[in-house]
Amino acid sequence: MDMNLNDLQFFVQAVDSGGFAAAARRLGVPKSTISKRVAELEARLGARLIHRTSRSFSLTDLGRDFFQHARASVIEAENAENIVRTRLGEPSGTVRLTTSVPTAQFTLAPHLQELSVRYPKLTLALHVTDRFVDIVQEGFDIAIRSHQQPLADSALVQRKLGVHYFYVVASPDYVEQHGAPLRPEELAQHKSIVANPAETSWRLSSTAGDTVEAEVNPVMAADEPFVLLKAAAAGIGITCLPTSVCRGALADGTLVRVLPDWTAGSITTTILMPHRRGQLPSVRAVVDLLLERAGG
């Protein structure tokens, strides 16, 4: 019996993705094509591999055993192809990446030109959304997530891109007109721009190890870092921004740090990848460039 490697790929993708619809999105082919090819594979084998109903998708006992060997065969085939691609030259193909709006704006966007110049045969398909994305189910190669709490353990490969501290910042015009607070307690006497309308204080930590719950006087609230950045740069008030967001504005003088010995916590940015996709040269190339240029 001839075994079609493409049919094995369809079967493995369907199982890895949890269904034909998710596999179709990941591979960019119609759902009916995957369903038909898996059915033909079952017909050639003379065995049922998948239990199908309108609402469920599960492997038979024989299907589970077959899946382990089929996945190994697909991985070996991809590795063989990757060896040739690596020997022939630079990474190529499409890398699907998803991230939030702020991370796309401030962490990823500044490096897109270099990525394009360094790897002209590589195509980056960027999906920007603030909703949670299941990168395995939805067929992504990479996710970049910014988080204040540690990420839950999972089967995904995690690479820390950087830790960004929240600085207290204001525009030079604001400081010139209203002065700068010299101690956290003086923030209550200033106008502040907060991320949440219910926010009435900032928890600040000093380089000396002191911690203070400093009251603030909000005159504006916005839950989007770009808006906070622009509002502070316009002189509306003092705000807290992570270094990933305000680094450029501090460098060009649009913003200045106030209370420079104090920070308001931190946020960590992490790259996540499905293990098998992370082995592809094209995915590694994107990750390595981000670690080189956006890390820290």
Could you tell me if residue 151 is left (phi over 0), alpha (psi between -120 and 50 degrees) or otherwise beta?
Answer: beta
The amino acid that residue 33 corresponds to is T
The pLDDT assigned to 253 comes to: 97
pTM above the 0.75 mark? Answer: no
pLDDT at 45: 87
Amino acid, res. 100: S
Strand-pair partners of 269: 146, 162
Rounded CA-CA distance 284/154 in Å is: 20
Query: Would you kindly state where each structural domain of the chain is located, as residue ranges?
Result: 5-88, 93-155+271-293, 164-267
Between strands 93-99 and 122-128, the pairing is parallel
Does the domain made of 164-267 have the CATH classification 3.40.190.290? Answer: yes
What's the pLDDT band for 18 if we cut at 50, 70, 90?
A: confident
Q: What is the pLDDT of residue 92?
A: 84
User: What is the distance between the alpha carbons of residues 85 and 151, in angstroms, rounded to a whole number?
Assistant: 34
Establish whether domains 5-88 and 164-267 are of one fold: no
Question: What does the pLDDT look like over 257-292, one tens digit per residue?
Answer: 999 999 999 999 999 998 877 778 889 999 999 999
Residue range 93-155+271-293 forms a domain whose CATH class is: alpha beta
Level-2 CATH architecture, domain 5-88: Orthogonal Bundle (1.10)
